[in-house]
Each structure stands twice: as C-alpha cells, then as structure tokens.
Structure 1
C-alpha cells in the first residue's frame, strides 16, 4: 500500500501580511506539507496559531526580521532541523528536514540576484552564482533520496518565460544563470518534476510581477519555483500543478503555490 503526500512550495512574500490567503489555501487544498519562502519574520513572531488550529503541528522555522526566511510546516512528523548557509553570510535561505520514510526535504530560497547580470557591476549577481556553486558541491556529495524545492529564481527553458527573446538578458533567464542551475542539476542527477510531468513547452508559470495592472491579462509569467528530486524518486511524483488563481486572492504574493503529489 502506498502513502500519498501532497507537498507545496510557495514564496509567500511575508507570512504575516498574507496569513488569510494561506489559511484559505490550507483549508481548500489540505496539503500534508507546506514549504514557505520569504516568510520575513523572526521565529518567535511566526504566526503558529492558525497552522496548529488546522492540524499543522510540526514546524521547522528559519526566520529573520523583515527579509528572507523559510519554513517547513507539516501535518506529518518531521525529523532533524538543518540549515545550510549557501549564501555564506548567515541569511535565512534554507531549512531542511527528514520525513518518516527517510526522504529528505530541502526548502530553499535562492537569491534573486539584482538587476544586472554582471558580478563585477552587481555583487548581488555574484552572490547568486556563488550560492549555486555551493549547492552544486552539496548536490555532488548527496547520498540520501531528497526532494529539493523552493524559489530558485531561475526560469531555464524558453517556455518558462512569457518571452524568451525579451528576457535573454534579464536576470532569472540569462544563460550564465541557466548554466549554473544545470551544473547543480547534473552534480546529483536531479529530476525536474515540473518538466517531467508537464513537458516543455506546456504552460508552467509560477510568478507574475506586481508591476502589471492586470497580471492575468498581461500574463508576463516566469517559472521561478521548482521541485526537483533525486533520481531514485523520479517516479514517485505523480502530479504537479500551479494554483494560478491564488495570484488573485486578497493581498496576494507575486508567486503562486506549486503543488506536487508523491506516492511512496
């Protein structure tokens, strides 16, 4: 008999500002595990009450004031509590746990990288590339079956952005970022669940800028959020979808929830 787990990744862009839509999402979709990025809150100020009321009693928090922050919130037990400093400056951008079946779950918020794709002019871009470098080294030495998910801040394929031509030199879709992303992929043989279950060039956007007056009408989306798994878990992911409607809920994040179901 197999166990089905519904696991969600969502860059929430401030959990306290968007608690209402998170509650709506949990009530309507009832995932087993919710991985949040950009929680933007210290651990002692994280709004645990709503989650516990809905049965999410297992939480691993890695927060900081006002910026970044990640959390794994679960209805099923979580073991361990790991935080890797892939940014190399103490920012709260990763949290990891182990499920009861021994599978690792790693929740990551990779830096956006600023506006200019040049590490000399723009140190933030260099930090992003170095972040990938440290993740690549970690990936190469990874032995346990692992689910890696979160906001990668890279849309690698032409079909992962609204206009490949318009975004060739825009940070998140430049070739150097894609090369770094794929070096990390190849270091462990990661399987991109999104494009395994929703093959290129099918629609698979997860982010739409706040700058658009009507995000759905302009539909200038990018696939910045990803779910990757170790090779031995490649056939365990059975469904994958983006809840685009959540981008229109009251005071929305600019990211939509990414929902993946696994059968172990």
Structure 2
C-alpha cells in the first residue's frame, strides 16, 4: 500500500483553484495539504475539488489570512485542529489517511526584523516553534505511530536551503535563532527530513521564490520553506520526493512550489 502526499502554500485557494485542480489532475496525490487558503470555511471551493475526485475535505479557514486544509481521494479520519500561542489563527489541521496521522502546518512568517523584542510577528514565530516542539515531545506512541508533518514551516534550516547562506543569516527564515528552534522541533519527535533523503545537504534545494524577482528561474534566489517530515515508525518507507517547480510558472502562480512525497506503507 502506498500513500502519496502533496503540500502547497497556495496563497488563496479561491484565487488559484484552477491551479489546485490542475495539480490534482497531473500528480494525483492521495492527499493534498494546503496552506494560506485565506478563505472562511463556508466559501471554500469544495465543488471544484470534489469534481476532481477529492471527496474528503477537512478545513480550518479564516477570512483573508492564514488557513489550512486537507483534501483527499481516500477517506480522512480523526480530523482535528490545534491552536497555538493563545491565538485563533488557523495554522494547523490534522487527519488520518491510510493509517498515517498527517499534520498540516502554516508556521508564522515572522515579519522582517529578526528581533522578538521589537517585532511582535517574530516573537509569535519563536513562540509557535517552541510550542510545536513541546507538543510533539509529549505526543503519545512516539516510537510506534506513523505520522507525517507537512506544510509551510517558514524556516530554511540548512546552508543550501537558501540561495546564499552568508547573505541570509540575518534575514528572517534563516537566522540562527530560527534554525536552532527548527532543529529542536525536529528532535522533539526524531522526525525524518524526507526531501533531504533524496537530495544531499550539500546540494541546493528550494521550494519558494519571491514575487519580487521577475525572472525567478534565472536568478534562482530561492529558499526551502516547505517541508515533509516522517516519524521514526516510517523510516525506510519514503520512496520519492518531487518539488514540482513547473507550478511556479503557471498563470497567477503561488510563490511556493508544491512538494510531493510517496511512501510505501
């Protein structure tokens, strides 16, 4: 039995629903996790997604900001959400598919200034990552449960997860403070960094390219902000990972590319 999971920060699901359907038709994942849906639940474009063959939908959305959703062509069970940092932001949703507990996250971006003393957004991000680490550290059945974490985690942790390690050390998403906390979250559950199983750490690997760069492919000033992790119980099950960069060139693109992983369960 296999499980194919895709994650994509869609940057408005209603604006880019045609791209969502195109991805579903092209790659046919069992499960697609979306972030930044920017859509209240009652306006989520269920009709188009169900018409594409994805009848199972779990969502946690809000008007204009944030929002996460899981859509699947296989049954979803035990769906739930968790709030972080005492806020009502819609940044997490989980559901189980084919016996795998899937967590879909949209971690706060953190603003521009990497100083929690003067930047409330960065302080929020730091607290969010701390709470993620604590939550997963206390997760039940740590060694036996099949779990996957996906989403826009808004941290590019490794030297070659950014176009210039030296130039981005003081830029939010790649600062030492964020990377240290990111590693703490990884260690909290002994998560496996699935894309890096297939692309060595010394090779560049990106999933996001700024809208500010008109010719993003030529400049290739990207960052790896979108992640797929697997729990220790899934060690050896990952069979492939694809960063579908073609989607970054579609009409009205998101600034993120989908990342797709396939597991043999």
Distance 1:17 1:156 in 2: 30
Corresponding residue of 1:211:
212
Per-residue deviation, 1:185: 1.0
SS at match of 2:253: coil
Distance 1:100 1:239 in 2: 18
Q: Are residues 1:45 and 2:46 paired?
A: no
Residue deviations 1:153-186 (CA, integer Å, cap 9, x gap): 0001110000111101000000000000111111
Per-residue deviation, 1:88: 2.2
Distance 1:88 1:78 in 2: 27
Of 91, 102, 105, the residue aligned with 1:105 is 102
Per-residue deviation, 1:32: 0.9
Gaps spanning 5+ residues in structure 2: where? none
SS at match of 1:166: helix
Of 15, 18, 27, the residue aligned with 1:17 is 15
Per-residue deviation, 1:139: 1.0
Contact 2:105 2:149 in 1 (8 A): yes
Contact 2:163 2:204 in 1 (8 A): no
Q: Are residues 1:26 and 2:10 paired?
A: no
SS at match of 2:47: helix
Q: TM-score, normalised by structure 2?
A: 0.97
Q: Give 1:1-264 correspondences, 5 Å limit.
A: 3-101=1-99, 103-142=100-139, 143=141, 144-264=145-265
Structure 1: 4+ residue segments shifted above 2 A: none
- How many residue pairs match? The answer is 261
Distance 2:68 2:244 in 1: 20
Per-residue deviation, 1:203: 2.9
Per-residue deviation, 1:100: 3.5
Contact 1:132 1:184 in 2 (8 A): yes
Contact 1:9 1:36 in 2 (8 A): yes
